[in-house]
Amino acid sequence: MSKMKKIAILQSNYIPWKGYFDMINMVDEFVIYDDVQYTKNDWRNRNKVYTRQGLQWLTIPVSQVNLEQLIKDTKVSDFRWLKKHWSTINQNYSKSKYFKEYKDIFEDLFLNCKEEYLSQINYCFIKAINEVLGIKTKLTWSSDYELVEGQTEKLLGICKQAGATTYLSGPAAKGYFDEELAKQQGIKVEWMDYSGYLEYKQLHQPFEHGVTILDLIFNEGPSATQYMKSFK
């Protein structure tokens, strides 16, 4: 009997929300899918923090040479973003209950990140946040695998090379992913469900789920995982 293995394949996001980390924690291997087209004004290079004035975007400035540009080839265009983002986080979360406890970890990341490629920056943050949350999932890159043509075919190709029996996908892929093809290839498909998250103590009202996970970490500290789905 071969061992069951579940994987997820997702584009790298900047300081993602809790749902992203739930997906990482629900699989045995998480593949950062950066051999695909970089999309402007997307989660690749930005996320939201909660401020006194409401939600605010933190965006990493990148240069896009052409529309075919891949995520893995996307570079930072101005390194001042690091200090700027840290300053915004510091100003808006310094009063949260657990900020002091995690401040050094994140300050170090923001002030000393020397990466010029967006995906590598995202990876540094994802790795550090995994450690804070106690997520042990193996992280790999789509470029570690041989990629074939076709949206569904490419994903299933990675699954098979990784020895996966189950593929966990984000709900947005329902529009294009060919489940029938997955069934033919013996790969079970599961869809991530982002509904039903519990509210936690945020600094501001009304409650907002769609913010960076740093909001949850700074506000709930060691209890952060109680407000996530995959730790139940």
pLDDT at 2: 61
Q: Determine the distance from the C-alpha atom of residue 157 to the mean position of all C-alpha atoms in its chain, rounded to a whole number.
A: 22
Q: What is the average pLDDT value for the chain, to the nearest integer? A: 96
Burial class of residue 39 (count of CB atoms within 10 Å of its CB; 0-12, 13-18, 19+) = middle
Least confident of 63-67, 84-88, 228-232: 63-67
Closest CA to 90 of 77, 103, 75, 74: 103
Write down the pLDDT at residue 1: 45
Instruction: Give Cα separations from 230 to 24, 191, 194 (angstroms).
Output: 9, 14, 11
Q: Specify the pTM.
A: 0.96
> What is the Cβ-side half-sphere exposure of residue 1, based on CA atoms within 13 angstroms?
3
Element (H, E) at 89: helix 81-93
Beta strands (DSSP E) in the chain are 6-10, 29-32, 46-51, 54-59, 62-63, 75-76, 138-141, 166-169, 188-191
Who wins on pLDDT, 65 or 169? 169
Percent of the chain with pLDDT over 70: 99
Q: What gap in Å lies between CA 69 and CA 74, rounded to an integer?
A: 7
145 close to 158: Cβ distance less than 8 angstroms: yes
What token pair was written down for 34? Answer: 């950066």
